[in-house]
Structure 1
Amino acid sequence: METPALDLQLKILPNSPGVYQYFDKNGRILYVGKAKNLKKRVTSYFTKRHDSHRIGVMVKKIHEIRHIVVASETDALLLENNLIKKHQPRFNVMLKDDKTYPWICIKNERFPRVFPTRKLIKDGSEYYGPFTSFKTVNTLLELIKGLYKLRTCNYDLAEDKIRAGKYKLCLEYHLGNCKGPCEGLQAEAEYNKNIEAIRQIVKGDFKDSLHKFREQMKEHADKMEFEDAQLIKNKIDVLKNYQSKSTVVNPKISDVDVFSIVSDEGYGYVNFLQLSHGAIIRSHTIEMKKKLDESDPELLELAITEIRQRFNSNSKEIYVPFKVEAGENVKITVPKLGDKKKIVELSQRNAKYYRQERFKQMKIVDPDRHVNRVMAQMKEDLRLHEEPRHIECFDNSNIQGSNPVAACVVFKNGKPSKKDYRKFNIKTVEGPDDFASMEEVVFRRYLRLLNEGEPLPQLIIVDGGKGQLSSGVKALDRLGLRGKIAIIGIAKRLEELFYPGDSIPLYLDKKSETLKIIQQLRNEAHRFGITFHRNKRSKAALNTELEQISGIGEKTVVELLKHFRSVKRIKEASQKDLSEVIGNAKAAIIYQHYHAS
């Protein structure tokens, strides 16, 4: 697929946090950057005047813009770092260093130590992070140290060495920072309980720790040790504000490929995330055109094979939103909750954004393709025999039985065709009878189209439930059009769609484009009908009292109301005041009408 022009690529960027990548015409990566708002940040490169010669040169070389959407600025920062290290783009001069983000390590050993590190060693130890700054790590470790007494020495505390008395208590024990496991003064089970609590803290689950902090604070307060109580309170505040969960990283998720798909009637959009040590190192989305109405699992299986070959991926585990086949040597996981589920959701979000971009491109570059897609979707959703290129929707406006009217709005190719809108005065129905009124206007509308040889719609929508739908069907029966035009009713309350002869309504996805177009039709018909009804009532109210006076016409009524502003003032006016506006003869008629008694 040919790369869209830069101005089009800029238009379709989302207003979301994420990472963007610039590529030159040969596909070489030029630059990786992060943004709180991708659209604003990337657009600024092309609209601002740059003082830096380096930036100016880079902008001239940009041929393609790619981006990855993430949940937060922190995620964007971490992802940017991973991508820069992997690709080492030419223009990321300031970030081409050996900086790595800090982790918290729970060492794989007896009586584990807990400490910060920038290096991940594959020795079975647990690593949590990475964190965006050492300040966060130190604050967290300080909290842990204040709550749990842990050893800091690097002794090998094997059971036989402790029993042999190989180690002596150090200063940390005498300062009260350690309980002396090196001399067997603390049981391993007790120590491991503390380690489990620490795991929960670094994962962001610190309910038990907060409870213990509050108990400590209360104890200090009871002893009138208010300074110590305040110090504990400060730690509680920091702990409450601390958040360690990140959708981008989780140290337990390593060497994993993540795939997800969103699709419509014509295309599938598959996103691929590659994770190493819990961090995303690659994101790629492909578009797949359906040939034989393939299902999502079929498309995803094809995409997994293609993408893993293209990127030479040897990951032993794949996360997907539903079960698929991907070879004998690969473990397929369908996460149900937790961090793994969040990673799949992140992949799905990127696939959805890519699909939205393609729709925007279609609307700008190929609007017909967008219309064709929507029409095909409506045909499928509404179980029609043909695409509803021409839709007409009817609505009755009948307030307290007065001035009954109806409206017909017309949509062509999913858009309003206002020149084809029609309004109806109800002629054959006495009183407020919505069902009979609907039958009358549907009959009149299509009798006229038939007589004039005008094209008929593929779909008729009546605003109302089963009763209004039955009335519309009767009208089509009388005209011999039953079965030639599809007709459905939409009930207002639950957006239920009713079909002739089917007592069970159809419920569409609330976010579907089909339902949105039907709602737009219904709302437009209601608006058009209400406006017509309101105008008719206003005119009727204007005419009722004054125009019933013999010898007074509409022009005279308008002149009087312009001057006196209300019928009440006209009644109260003197004959002289009236004659100054409409002349002596008509003034005498009106004055006599109201003052004859």
Structure 2
Amino acid sequence: MTAAEAFDAQAFVRRLTTQPGVYRMLDGGGEVLYVGKARNLKKRVSSYFLRASGNPRIEAMVDQVAAIEISITASEDEALLLESSLIKSLKPRYNVCLRDDKSYPYLRLTGHRYPRIVFHRGARKPNERYFGPFPSAATVRETISTLQKVFEVRGCSDSYFEARTRPCLQHQIRRCSAPCVGLVSEADYAASVDAVSDVMQGRAESLVRALQSRMDEQAAALDFESAARTRDRIAAIRRMQETKIVTGLKGDADVVVLESINGLTGVGVMSIRAGQNRGQVQHFPRVPKDVSAEELMGEFLAQHYTSHAPPDELIVNVAPAEADWLTHALSEAAGRKLVIKAQVRDVRRRLRDMASASLREALKHRVLSRQNIGSRLLALQARFALERVPERLECFDISHSRGEETMASCVVFGSEGADKSQYRRFAINGITPGDDYAAIRQAVLRRFKHVVSGESPCPDVLLIDGGKGQLASAMSALEELAVEPPLILGVAKGSARKPGLEQLFMPGKNEALRLDDDDPALHLIQQVRDEAHRFAITGHRGRRAKARTRSELDDIPGLGPVRRQALLRRFGGMRQLRRASLDELQKVEGFHRALARRVYDHLHENPSG
């Protein structure tokens, strides 16, 4: 008898509470099949077992249930929020799951006495101002660059700010007013920061009027240089406004649309902030069969807006299931009332239609891309006589600069192309600098230990960027772990190092294999290899940049980032710090005699700089 057959659902239901909560259905192996919420746990869970649902997906799931876990919540709203959180973390097979719920990028004004303007993604901090969301990181960075040109608000880190003794290059090119060295008063700097806030909240017109009055006063006082700068600032604000798409709405709203083409489903979120269209982001959730559009919309809104702050208004093209419950729960979580509107007209309808058209276009391109990937996977299967069409390809590459800051990459491709949520980088340490063979071996060992433990699936195809030596190193690691993917290839560029002339090496074969340059299987191998190369290089560059910015203070035991910053804030820079006496070091906040002695000895044992 299987665990599912042994599970006594009727007895379990009889003992259930009628309180609100969340239930998790598990199979015989302990895998979570489904997470659901309930106003009444007894009534909701019993509905799965008292009668046939008529839904093949639900019936197939119920047949596998070997256990049910319950979490009682204080309210129905809390149950909905907990359900969304568990779905995102557990990704159950029978739930709608967002594939990559990476947070949106925002523009942030920090809470410092002289705030900095920075790119932000992730959790919010109190006493700081956030503007967004934006559809892409590039849009945020472009906006920051423009705002710094216009308002000269700093973007440097607080530690860099505190350590300055003279203006940096940003001041010389008129992108920062140099508050670090007192070239602008705190009041004037605060006015510039408030102006940034006004522009980002759609209040540019009142700001322009104030600047025009100031320009007139400067001209009347014959301060023509200042008047010219103010004029240029007004012109720059006007240009910023001209690039914004005005929607006709006055407040904040998200337009959330759901569309399906050829079995592929997408959800588009168009962000309207202060009446301006900030752009649209498309999501392609994992959707089990037989899920209704209403259920999918409800699941998406619940999962998405428990991670991202919702605006006051959500305009949808499909009314979500349990809309009243969802609206109330999201309002409670946000601390303000929000509305979900499915029946709209005029400007809202035009915006909804525009979002739907954009999403359908994205779906068409994704369908074509999927078909292209599918044909290449079939070609790869046929070319290497694989038993089935590959579902997961992985490729490793190594990047370094003369052996320094070595970084390995592992990229993953599937039936829909690159699966970036599965990408991994490995910082390679403990090898002879420049030893690519040892680097590949270390990376493969670290990656495939997760396969052995069952935490990660084994790929159907493993590609190693390199020739016989790199392939042999990878095989050594795999043999040590007793793991062998169905197909393993070393991908070398050949003597001419031109695309289409790649040499493919297979374990146990001395001769390289060459595929025709128009072979779809080769095109797939090239695509995956090139992506691994890109991912390794960007990781290496980041590691190299971080190494270059390391301070020699990083090597002092017991001196963490907070105390390092306190030192630099107190003395202004390394030159002044080296001149400090032991007693002066001990007066720094958070320093005791032993730590001050360690810092003093380190600086005088290493006098360079």
**Coarse TM-score class (shorter-chain normalised):** 0.3 to 0.5
TM-score by length of 1: 0.33
Task: State the TM-score, normalized to the length of structure 2.
Answer: 0.33
Of structures 1 and 2, the larger Rg is shown by 1
